[in-house]
Structure 1
Amino acid sequence: MTQPFADAALAPYTVSEEECAAIAAAIDTDELVELALTLGNIPSRSREELAAAMHVHDWMKAEGFRPRLVGATPERPNVIGEYGGQGIPVHGGGANLLFTAHLDTESPSGIAEHDRFRYRESTLADPEWSKCWLDEEGRLRGYPVSNDRGPMSCFLIATKALKKAGIALAGKTWITACPGEIGPEPIEEFSGIAYNGKDIGAHYLFHHGGVAPDYAIAAEGTDFGLTWQGCGYALFKVSIFGQGMFTPILDAPEFAAEHPNPIYRLGAVIDALHAWGQDWERESVMETLSGAIHPKVQIASVRGGMPIDFGAGTEVCALYIEVSLSPRRKAAEAMHGITAAMRGLDLAGFEVEPVVVRHGFEANPAEVAPLVGAVAAATQLTRGEELQPAHPVYSSMWRDHNVFNMHRIPAVTTGMPRWRPTGADLASSALVYALTMLAICGRAEGGPASDGPTSVYGDNESPF
């Protein structure tokens, strides 16, 4: 008999139709859309998350979720709020659940000297990089809403709905907003904490945020699907060496492969890396109960020579190749493969260096089953349909559920439609999140949860 993807019966607490109706009635779709658009319209590129973080902090404080700021630097804090965790469970539940979403948004860097080497002017002018609005068809536009302040708004309003409906949680739900999920990464001269991405986000929150969840959900757009696995990635610098030659005395050879300038060898190197990448992609495909993973490979950038010093070509140029790492592959395997591909070329010399390494992770299916069951039960109650595995694209990228699975906390990623959601989509996602909170944490005896202290921090914030 085939094992089902999701068994709603495994949810620790069974949410009643009456509870579902009460929570649904407490979700104000207009308020949810307004929150998503407000957050989305606060500029929050990587390394510029502070204003958005403070808005989330102030919202949590106004709603009684006792937020605190925990950051590696004052400019890029994690925001951590909480609800529940004081009562005696009624008929199951009592576990602790953490929700996370990221404050930074995919966008050009804002550094003109960098962006003009990556984007066309028409692309830089796209308003959806930084502006969000409700269009004439009732769909939310703007990349910040899609990734990731729409899903963030959904679990914020979900928590408010539980409180508004007077439903106390026996276990605790942490609601968190993190910087740096998208990037950047410290590389070469762009090094140091100013260029840190993931290390000061969910990684830092896990170790220093005062949280100890039994389960975690990375709230991201998945078109209401779910996966408990995710890819990591590595960036390899492939340096090619040659000989500088003063241009006036250069006798150019007939064939590019014989040129002393290593830039002329890039065609053969690209062909070799592309062939290796296609093999890596085919060999890395994973099919599991959680769905499929299709890792990808792409050359991300090229550096060679110095345009202000052009009199003698260059002795060094480099390609930077991004390699997706499934949860069952290591960066070392990719490095060996790239090195072997390069050895087959006629070059004066080369070097392969892993400049970024982040492995992928997956939850243990048995350990994550209660959480998947809770989301399945919530999906059935909310949407009248069975929970499905997320599309492979959502399990073939980095998302912050990897951080928790890395540390043996069963974690998934699940959420609203990624592209152009409606207000109804957001409300549906918020209800799924709220019902999942109740199904995992369980209902506490004695009515609404107290607004009193529930952590070692008391009522005093500890920013850093």
Structure 2
Amino acid sequence: MSDAVLPFSLNQFSAADIAAIDAAIDRDELVRRVLELCNIPSPTRREREAGQYVFDWMAEEGFAPEKVALVEDRFNVVGRFGGEGDGPNLLFSSHLDTESPFYEPVDRHTYRPETLADPQWLQAWLEDEVFFGYAVGNDRGPMVCFIMAAKALKAAGFKLSGSLYLTACPGEIGPEPVDEHQGVASLGKELGAAYMLAHGGVAPDFAISAEGTDFGLNWAACGYAYYKITVYGEALFTPILDHETQTARLNPIVRMGGVIEAVNAWARTYEKTHAYESEGGGTVTPKVQICAIRGGNPQSIGASSEVCSIYLDVNMGPLQTIGAVDRELKAVLRAAGFEDCEVRPYVFRAGAEADPVAVQPLKAALDKAHASVRGGPMPVGHTVYSSMWRDHNVFNLNRIPSVTMGPVRWRPSVDDLVACTRIYALATLALCGRVA
């Protein structure tokens, strides 16, 4: 699509503009900021210290940050730059929490001891110009890139016509309320980007979820439903148990084996049945996995449990509905002979896709920036990046055309993050425009 038919005309930047932005990007500071921010432990539910670092940094750079919080110690940070004319507004967002154990007793039933001991959960370091540490890729490395991009634009003297919003959000990874884990302490996404969009005083025309995509572009993404499947039975006292007539029929833990077999068979066909081709996401491949199981009390096992439950992660493509998924899963279990099990979703978040026409100005700006930095238009990101939840769903569900785009996802180099910073800065200039 040419600039002439876009709702917004792209700002043309020159070789001098590119040179000015490049000169304003301090490579050493970028490395320092990545290591400082990513060495702040920030497992989900414990984002406060990392959020305070980002708030203080934005204040230092003159981006007038605000804290936007549903929960006081898990706040969003919203900074602002530009807005001196009538150009389109652009919002960048990354999440403050990093995939990691909860560092609670439950982790002993989730991770191997050597996995729990991996220093990359909570630490980051630089080795031969390559960053190590999960927080760098997911997701504070890209967060540093867009703050550094805004700083470079400001330092180079550009006055943006549209507003640029810089946002750092908690809770993108989770957790989710379930069973005895209820209340605000167990909330994840409700207090992050969704709350920030509703209460953060932002008015974006476009949004970029700044996460690692290996420099690819995706504007379609999966949502998900978490399901709890429960099988009931009888407490069979071990000394009087008759295996021939009772175990397979009455022990719910044993019966759950058949449920697991049926669900796994369904999972293999589900991803083929519901694969979805998107211009902005390649092949979206929603998948199903059994991720947890509960049953019985290990302190008292003289008799079997009467209850056993498994917990499913059911990914859902942009066009799937929860009602249809619910019927499909229940039909699978009925066909396998488990009419009496209880099947219930305890989380539902819809997938989304940007309007393919409305997103074109943002795509064009990123293509233009990518061509200047790395050559050629930005490629479609790998299917894995459209087959998961990312926070651009929040914006696309609210009719704000949004993409996910970022640097190398796994162990990015310093050069990768510098290149991403340049792309973010140039795309911002191309989209938001400038005033004299």
**TM bracket (short chain):** over 0.9
Q: What is the SS of the residue equivalent to 1:248? A: helix
- The answer to whether the 8 A contact 1:242-1:349 is kept is no
Corresponding residue of 1:160: 151
Structure 1 stretch 366-375 or stretch 245-254: which is displaced more? 245-254
Structure 1 stretch 348-357 or stretch 395-404: which is displaced more? 348-357
Question: Percent identity of the aligned residues?
Answer: 49
Shift of 1:300: 0.7
Determine the C-alpha separation between the residues in 1 that align with 2:326 and 2:159: 51
Q: What is the SS of the residue equivalent to 1:353? A: strand
Determine the C-alpha separation between the residues in 1 that align with 2:246 and 2:8: 66
Corresponding residue of 1:455: none
Q: What is the SS of the residue equivalent to 1:444? A: coil
Corresponding residue of 1:337: 328
Per-residue CA deviations over 1:110-133 (Å, capped at 9, x if unaligned) read 11x110000000101111111100
Determine the C-alpha separation between the residues in 2 that align with 1:311 and 1:347: 26
Matching residue's letter, 2:97: D
Corresponding residue of 1:380: 371
Does residue 410 of structure 1 match 2:401?
yes
Query: Structure 2: where are the runs of 5+ without partners?
Result: none
Choose from 55, 58, 71 the match for 1:57: 55
Q: 1:338 to 1:279 in 2, by over 3 A?
A: same
Corresponding residue of 2:39: 41
Query: Structure 1: where are the runs of 5+ without partners?
Result: 446-464
Shift of 1:254: 6.7
Deviating above 6 A after TM superposition, structure 1's stretches of 4 or more consecutive aligned residues are 7-10
Choose from 354, 363, 381 the match for 1:390: 381
Corresponding residue of 2:94: 101
Determine the C-alpha separation between the residues in 2 that align with 1:410 and 1:374: 13
Corresponding residue of 1:122: 114
Determine the C-alpha separation between the residues in 2 that align with 1:81 and 1:345: 54
Shift of 1:11: 5.7
Corresponding residue of 2:25: 27
- The answer to whether the 8 A contact 1:10-1:373 is kept is no
Aligned length: 433
* RMSD between superposed Cα atoms in Å: 1.7
Q: What TM-score, normalized by structure 1, do the two folds share?
A: 0.91
- The answer to whether the 8 A contact 2:10-2:433 is kept is yes
Per-residue CA deviations over 1:313-333 (Å, capped at 9, x if unaligned) read 122111111110000111222
- The answer to whether the 8 A contact 1:230-1:395 is kept is yes
Q: What is the SS of the residue equivalent to 1:349? A: coil
Corresponding residue of 2:315: 324
Q: Give runs of aligned pairs for residues 29-428 of structure 1, distance below 5 A.
A: 29-87=27-85, 94-111=87-104, 113-135=105-127, 137-253=128-244, 257-258=248-249, 260-290=250-280, 291-347=282-338, 349-428=340-419
Matching residue's letter, 1:134: L
Determine the C-alpha separation between the residues in 2 that align with 1:15 and 1:325: 40
Q: 1:161 to 1:114 in 2, by over 3 A?
A: same
Instruction: Determine which structure has greater relative contact order: mean sequence separation of CA pairs < 8 Å that are 6+ residues apart, divided by chain length.
Output: 1
Q: 1:226 to 1:8 in 2, by over 3 A?
A: farther
Determine the C-alpha separation between the residues in 2 that align with 1:217 and 1:182: 17
Determine the C-alpha separation between the residues in 2 that align with 1:235 and 1:193: 18
Matching residue's letter, 2:122: S
Matching residue's letter, 1:433: Y
Per-residue CA deviations over 1:167-205 (Å, capped at 9, x if unaligned) read 110000000000000111111101110010000000100
Matching residue's letter, 1:281: E
Determine the C-alpha separation between the residues in 2 that align with 1:63 and 1:229: 33
- The answer to whether the 8 A contact 1:242-1:348 is kept is no
Matching residue's letter, 2:308: C
Per-residue CA deviations over 1:85-115 (Å, capped at 9, x if unaligned) read 024x6xxxx000000000000001111x110
Matching residue's letter, 2:70: A
Matching residue's letter, 1:221: G
Matching residue's letter, 2:68: V
Q: Give runs of aligned pairs for residues 427-446 of structure 1, distance below 5 A.
A: 427-445=418-436
Per-residue CA deviations over 1:21-72 (Å, capped at 9, x if unaligned) read 1111111111111111110000111110000001000000011000010100
Determine the C-alpha separation between the residues in 2 that align with 1:53 and 1:164: 24
Matching residue's letter, 1:246: F
Shift of 1:382: 1.1
Matching residue's letter, 1:414: M
Determine the C-alpha separation between the residues in 1 that align with 2:194 and 2:278: 26
Matching residue's letter, 1:373: A
Structure 1 stretch 339-348 or stretch 394-403: which is displaced more? 339-348
Q: What is the SS of the residue equivalent to 1:101? A: strand
